Every structure is written in structure tokens, then in C-alpha cells.
Amino acid sequence: MQNSLWLYGAEPLSLNTLSSSLNCDVCIVGGGLTGVYTAYLLAKKGVDVVLLEANSSVAFGTTAHSTGKLTPQHGTVFQQLLTTFNEDEARTYYKANVSAIEQALKHVTVDIFQRADSYLYATTEQGVDSIKKELEAYKKLGIPGVETKDTELPFEVNTALKMENTTQIHPTKFTNHFAKLAIKEGAKFFVNTRVTKLIIEENRLITESELEVSFKSIVLATHYPIEAVKGLHLAKLSIDRSYLMATKTSELLKGQYLSTDNTSRTIRTALIENQPYLIFGGSSHIAGVVQNTQTYYETLEKEMIATFDLSKPEFLWSAQDPNTADYIPYVGRISASEPRIYIATGYRKWGLSNSLVAGEIISTEITSGKHIAQHLYSPSRNLFGKTFMRMLKAIGFTVSSLAEGYLMRIEAPKCTHLGCKTQWNEGDETWDCPCHGSRYDKFGNVIEGPAVYPLKLE
């Protein structure tokens, strides 16, 4: 596995492993930004919270493999939202993200974030067309944004759409900061504590070391809901994989960039231990369908070196992002019939600001309040009528691969989640499951769920 820049220079928090069974009001499974921020908001309201993280540290998984852009400019999401939602709903998505970011920043010291303008840029006709449509959507929704051709990028752009005064963060430091605040407010955090079974009817879960946690409510903040709730939610997400790299540079950029061309690219800089780094990425594809992901890294590397005249990257990492069919994450109470279970998933590459929205929604619902985006993000929203075709596309992939995994005798090991055939990923040296995105290291150990058991490699 190659390393993320965000795991370098950020001291992991020293936290205990669960050593005895316990009871709590709210148990949060998953120590990424969503779980940690939800724990913080709940603990601040006096709720008795326990957070369980399977890895050895919080902010180790998806959060540490992001771009660190904390912005409400989520690609071209607003033109897409307007094809499914009305203007008020699309505006609510924007407002919820802006407000969640600004609220969180009130509790963060200035060394953990920087203000940076966010740009969408285009170098092709198709990219320009997409920016024009996004600008139209901004105008309709009252979102501040200006069209410009002025950027600091070392190449000409045909056009760009600038959203001023957004934010970029060091995602690991940012999450660790909120973990410390949550613990200070009384939340209990445990690492190296993998949940293997959830017994919903009895309000309890079992960990790998056979300990029990009893709860009144549970929050599944595991990027993709864990195996224990299979059937409730699984077929509604598709998973994308994209690639990032970082290399030393001499200057920091003032903006953060994303292209709207077909071959999308993401660009920003970060100052790590007084050294500026350029972060460059893109090349997304459906997770688990590509065997040799090394070629994606190589393509990006060549392009980065040629475009920015920099040396080979020192850090390479990839991110997996679950997508919902209607572009809005599933956040909140999983269904009216399961009032004790909360989930947060489907962030579609915009997990940092959506994690903050998720923390607000879930902590508000648990404490019986109302949040402006609660209905919009609800996992039980009924949009099948309007988005049926798109849903079919997202589900179709999952279902066919699932069937293949069950029905065919294959050589690749079967995923221990629901039995799909995994694929060897040469670039990252991992076994990847195309169905719901589980990943295993070369020895078969789980890197990322929903699977919780190791592969049988014979």
C-alpha cells in the first residue's frame, strides 16, 4: 500500500483498545471525520458517546486519503442536483455545507486550515460547456461564483468558475483536533476495536475480541455500512476509485482546482513541515474492475512532471468513494422502522464538508432536534420514481457482480462480505471487491469494509 501525504507529519493520537464490555447512549462505529465530528457534537450536548475504530488510529482511512479540500464547490453538483431536486432543495444542499464548514472552523485553530479560492477549470469544449451550465445553476440558486480565465496554473484554461474564500485542511490533523475536543467533552474513543456483529434487536454489538457494547442508538460511520446491516442498504451505492500523488514544490498556490474535462484532474498545494507540496490527482473508475492500477499512477505521474516541471512524487494514494444515484449522501436515521440506526455514506468525493453536515444532522436527530438538511439527506427518501434509471445503473453493476461471485467458481478469493469475486490490484497490492468496495491487503487482511473478516487465500 502506498502512503498518503496526510499520514506523514501528523502524530497519531494515542488511544486505548476496548478491554471490557460497556454500555452507552450512542455508539459510533468508525473514526473518520464523520464519526469523530458526530462524537464531538453529541458529547458537547452531554450525550454518553463511545466511538470504536478498527484501525490503530482515528482519521486513518478515507479521511486520510482525501484531497483535503473543504469547500462547498462540489464539482458540478449543482447542475446535477437541479435535474432531480427543486431549487429550494439544491439551495439547502449548498447552505448546509457552507454552514457546517463555518461552524466547524469556529472550533479550529488557524494552523490547521487555510482559506483558498476553489476553481472549476476547463481546457476542452466539453469542460467549458459543463462550467457554463454550473454557472447557470449558481445564478439560479444564488450561489456566489465568478467566471474567469485568470488562474495561477502553468497552462491556459478556456474558462474557470471561481468560488471565493473556501477552505483547505490537513484532514488528519483536522480530525485529530476534533477527536481531542470530543474526548475533552467526555466521549470515549477506542482504536484497534473492530466490530464484527451488530445485534439490532438487542441493541448491542460484538467486537472481534468478543466484547460487547450495548447502546440506545448506533451510528455507522464506516464509509460504507458494515456487514452486520446487509440487506438494509447495500444495493444503493456504487463505488469509484481515484488516485492522488504529492511531490515537493517551491511555491504554494492560492487556489484549489478541479477540472470539468472528461479526464478530470484535481490540484492543490499543502505546507507540510515547512515544505510546500503539490497534490495532483484524478483518473477515476469504478472500484475493483481494474486489475493494474499502477498504470493510473503512471499516467498521472507523467502528466504532473510534464505540466509542473517537478520531480517524481514521494506520496501516492488512492481514494474510494461511494456514490448515491441522486448525488446527495445518505445521512441520518436509516429508516423509520429502524429508529436506532444512523448511517452516513455516499459522499461522492466530497466527504470532508459532507462529514461535517452528517455530524450536524445525526447529532441533531439523536437529540430530537431539526436540521435544515435532514429530509434532503435522509436515507429513506423516496426518489425512486424520478431517479429510477440512474438508480438502475448504480445498482446494476453491484447486482451483476454479486451474482457472479455467488454463481461462478473462480480463482480469485471471494470477498468475505457477500461473496463477490475480488480482483488483484497490482498498483496498490490489494485485493479489491467490485461489489461494495471492500479492500484487503496482500495477506488478505481487511483494509476497508464493509467486509470485517480476512480473505481466505489458499
Which residues bind to ligand FES, rule: CB under 6 A? 415, 417-418, 420, 433, 435-438, 450-451
Is the CB of 73 or the CB of 398 nearer to ligand FES? 398
Q: How far is the CB of 292 from ligand FES (least distance, A)?
A: 20
Q: How far is the CB of 224 from ligand FES (least distance, A)?
A: 8
Q: How far is the CB of 150 from ligand FES (least distance, A)?
A: 45
The amino acid that residue 188 corresponds to is K
The pair phi, psi for residue 155, each rounded to 5°, is: -150, 160
Question: Quick check: 65 and 317 in contact, CB under 8 A?
Answer: yes
Q: How far is the CB of 453 from ligand FES (least distance, A)?
A: 11
Query: What is the per-residue burial (b if ≥16 Cβ within 10 Å, else e) of 405-434?
Result: beeeeeebbbbbbbebbbbebebbebbbbb
Question: Quick check: 357 and 38 in contact, CB under 8 A?
Answer: no
Q: How far is the CB of 306 from ligand FES (least distance, A)?
A: 37
Which residue, 295, 296, 294, 261, is CA-closest to 281?
Answer: 296
Pull the grid cell for residue 428: 496498490
Is the CB of 35 or the CB of 413 nearer to ligand FES? 413
Is the CB of 171 or the CB of 450 nearer to ligand FES? 450
Q: How far is the CB of 435 from ligand FES (least distance, A)?
A: 4
Is the CB of 218 or the CB of 420 nearer to ligand FES? 420
Pull the grid cell for residue 235: 444495493
* All residues at 6 or more sequence positions from 106 whose CB lies less than 8 Å from its CB, including other chains: none
Q: How far is CA 408 from CA 103, 396, 404, 412, in A?
A: 51, 18, 6, 11
* All residues at 6 or more sequence positions from 368 whose CB lies less than 8 Å from its CB, including other chains: none
Which of the 8 DSSP states describes residue 375? T
Is the CB of 57 or the CB of 324 nearer to ligand FES? 324
Which residue, 265, 268, 259, 260, is CA-closest to 296?
Answer: 265
Q: How far is the CB of 241 from ligand FES (least distance, A)?
A: 13
**Cis amide prior to 450 (ω within 30 degrees):** yes
Is the CB of 256 or the CB of 425 nearer to ligand FES? 425
Is the CB of 229 or the CB of 267 nearer to ligand FES? 229
Question: Quick check: 398 and 436 in contact, CB under 8 A?
Answer: yes
Continuous segment of H or E residues that includes residue 391: helix 384-407
Q: How far is the CB of 399 from ligand FES (least distance, A)?
A: 11
The residue count for the chain: 458
Is the CB of 265 or the CB of 436 nearer to ligand FES? 436
Which residue, 32, 37, 62, 74, is CA-closest to 350?
Answer: 74
Q: How far is the CB of 447 from ligand FES (least distance, A)?
A: 12
The amino acid that residue 339 corresponds to is P
Pull the grid cell for residue 424: 488483484
Is the CB of 58 or the CB of 402 nearer to ligand FES? 402
